[in-house]
């Protein structure tokens, strides 16, 4: 199958060629024709599958068929974080290089003035995070009355970040007759409810792992004595001579502390989390990508959406209390056909989290024990759920569908020419 077979026209095909894409990814092959037909789409796809082009390309195709004297917002793409918003806009810019379509991105945490003046000059595609969109709408800077296509991107993360009410409010601003696309990596009961609420007879589209390319995300789970995690992390990095390692912690404080300890050992490390400014995060990510910093320590909130080519090592220094986050974390490895390893260091307090992750991902981990780092003995019956972050519901994943049931069999699309801008993300208390 080629992009041309999907029904895209010459100027868009030219931009795709310039990006270096050879064939549509599975999600693109399935989603693009449906979007072109005007169908509502419910898509299961996470970052790395090529989902952005899956919705942007057909939106562009539909928009170029109409002529407007002065552009009005005809497509609205709502996404949870500033970084994702910036990435999507970057993609739109590239895909629309040879067509006359205007796009604007708006997100919080930065001065609104340039965004307002961009909106004033006219816009066909608006990419937005919910808070800033509502803000600017309340101030009368946005007209959403002509929106024909509405995309809810990373819907699961939107709900995690507490955007449900904002989404509902935004939907009241849109015309009733419109095409809706919902993208989500996981499908909890809440996502299904949200989807049922606004999608009309949606076509289900899945990024199934139907690839032949061998791409292995190896997952290792090591039971570990909690106080020894730092020492073991340092040992792995030093002995393995790992040069590019992404480490996840659950909290901002944990990220800072670990970062400091690594730096003390002359392992260069920077942290990205909710307390860091946009500039700090962008800088940390850029340095990490260039190889100037060996370790990036991140909380889940901060790391979602970052696209790092050929990332060989991910360490879960702390296990996420939300199982879906595990899926996103290990999705950072093994991109672009590279083999990656995701190592989880699990202390006794986190065994319940691992049990939840095993349920969600429908796999049973072999739990390694390393001499000198073994945790105190614990009876199976004593494995209890530790208290999670306030307001977060660990059991939410009970109804989730597993997007990575075959973890070693997942193809990620990454275009090495395209290095994405770093950014940051909002929300999250401790993360
Ligand atoms: P996404 O899942 O949308 O974040 O895309 C992940 C990466 O895959 C991005 O760097 C895209 O530029 C790249 N990409 C998207 N579609 C294709 C394709 N058909 N072939 C190769 N790379 C692609």
* CATH number of 20's domain: 3.40.50.300
Pairing of β 103-106 and β 245-248: unpaired
Q: Quick one: pLDDT at residue 424?
A: 37
Report yes or no on 299 lying in a domain.
yes
Same domain, 231 and 363: yes
- Do both 233 and 360 map to the same domain? yes
Q: What is the rounded CA–CA span in Å between residue 101 and residue 57?
A: 12
Domain count, the chain: 2
pLDDT beyond 60 at 389:
no
Do 314 and 344 lie in one domain? The reply is yes
Asked if residue 52 has its Cβ within 6 Å of ligand 1, the reply is: yes
Euclidean distance between CA atoms 375 and 394, whole angstroms: 24
pLDDT digits (tens, 9 = 90+) for 87-127: 999 999 999 999 999 999 999 989 999 999 999 999 999 99
Give mean pLDDT, residues 233-238. Answer: 96
Cβ neighbours for 408, distance < 8 A, ≥ 6 positions apart: 215, 216, 217, 218
The reply to whether 197 and 136 lie within a common domain is: yes
Same domain, 228 and 249: yes
Ligand 1 proximity of 104 Cβ (cutoff 6 Å): no
Residue whose CA is at the smallest distance from ligand 1 atom 1: 50
Check if the beta carbon of residue 320 is closer than 8 Å to that of residue 396: no
Arithmetic mean of pLDDT, 81-88:
90
Task: Judge if the beta carbon of residue 48 lies within 6 A of ligand 1.
Answer: yes
Domain holding 206, by residue range, is 4-211+400-430
Tens digits of per-residue pLDDT, 270-279? 998 878 877 7
If phi over 0 gives left and psi between -120 and 50 gives alpha, with beta otherwise, what is residue 169? alpha
Classify residue 389: in a domain, yes or no. Answer: no
In the reported structure, the alpha carbon of residue 391 is separated from the centroid of ligand 1 by a whole-number distance in angstroms of: 34
Q: Can you give the pLDDT at residue 48?
A: 76
Whether residue 190 is found in the same domain as residue 248:
no
Closest Cα to atom 16 of ligand 1? 50
Task: Give the pLDDT score at 289.
Answer: 84
Q: Which tokens sit at 22?
A: 């050879």
For ligand 1, say whether the CB of 50 is within 6 Å of any of its atoms: yes
Whether 393 maps to a domain, the answer reads no
Do 228 and 375 fall within a single domain? yes
- Could you tell me if residue 388 is inside a domain? no
Judge if 168 and 33 occupy the same domain: yes
- CA 205 to each of CA 22, 28, 262, 413: distance values in angstroms, whole numbers, following the listed order: 21, 9, 43, 17
Residue 17 predicted with pLDDT over 80 = yes
CB distance 135 to 148 below 8 Å:
no
């Amino acid at each position: 199958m080629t992009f041309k077979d999907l029904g895209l026209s010459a100027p868009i095909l030219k931009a795709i060629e310039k990006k270096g894409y050879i064939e549509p990814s599975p999600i693109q092959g399935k989603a693009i024709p449906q979007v072109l037909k005007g169908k509502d789409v419910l898509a299961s796809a996470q970052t790395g599958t090529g989902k952005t082009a899956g919705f942007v390309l057909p939106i562009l195709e539909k928009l170029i068929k109409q002529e407007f004297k002065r552009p009005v917002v005809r497509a609205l793409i709502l996404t949870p974080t500033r970084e994702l918003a910036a990435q999507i806009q970057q993609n739109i810019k590239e895909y629309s290089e040879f067509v006359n379509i205007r796009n604007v991105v708006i997100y919080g945490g930065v001065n609104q003035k340039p965004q307002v003046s961009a909106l004033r000059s006219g816009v066909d595609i608006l990419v937005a995070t919910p808070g800033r969109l509502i803000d600017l709408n309340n101030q009368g800077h946005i007209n959403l009355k002509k929106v024909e296509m509405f995309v809810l991107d990373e819907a699961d993360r939107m709900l995690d970040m507490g955007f449900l009410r904002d989404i509902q409010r935004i939907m009241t601003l849109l015309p009733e007759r419109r095409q809706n696309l919902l993208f989500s990596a996981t499908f909890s009961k809440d996502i299904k409810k949200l989807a049922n609420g606004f999608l009309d007879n949606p076509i289900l589209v899945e990024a199934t792992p139907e690839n032949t390319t061998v791409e292995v995300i190896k997952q290792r789970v090591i039971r570990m004595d909690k106080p020894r995690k730092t020492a073991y992390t340092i040992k792995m990095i030093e002995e393995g001579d790992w040069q590019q390692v992404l480490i996840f912690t659950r909290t901002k404080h944990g990220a800072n502390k670990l970062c400091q300890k690594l730096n003390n050992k002359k392992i260069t490390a920077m942290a990205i989390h909710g307390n860091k400014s946009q500039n700090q995060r962008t800088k940390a990510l850029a340095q990490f990508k260039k190889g100037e910093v060996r370790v990036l320590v991140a909380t889940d909130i901060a790391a979602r959406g970052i696209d790092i080519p050929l990332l060989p090592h991910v360490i879960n220094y702390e296990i996420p209390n939300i199982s879906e986050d595990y899926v996103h974390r290990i999705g950072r490895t093994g991109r672009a056909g590279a083999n990656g390893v995701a190592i989880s260091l699990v202390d006794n307090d986190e065994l319940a989290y691992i049990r939840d992750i095993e349920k969600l991902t429908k796999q049973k981990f072999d739990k390694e024990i390393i001499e000198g780092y073994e945790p105190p003995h614990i009876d199976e019956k004593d494995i209890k759920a530790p208290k999670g972050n306030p307001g977060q519901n660990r059991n939410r994943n009970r109804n989730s569908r597993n997007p990575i049931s075959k973890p070693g069999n997942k193809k990620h699309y990454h275009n090495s020419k395209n290095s994405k801008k770093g950014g940051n993300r909002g929300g999250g208390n401790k993360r």
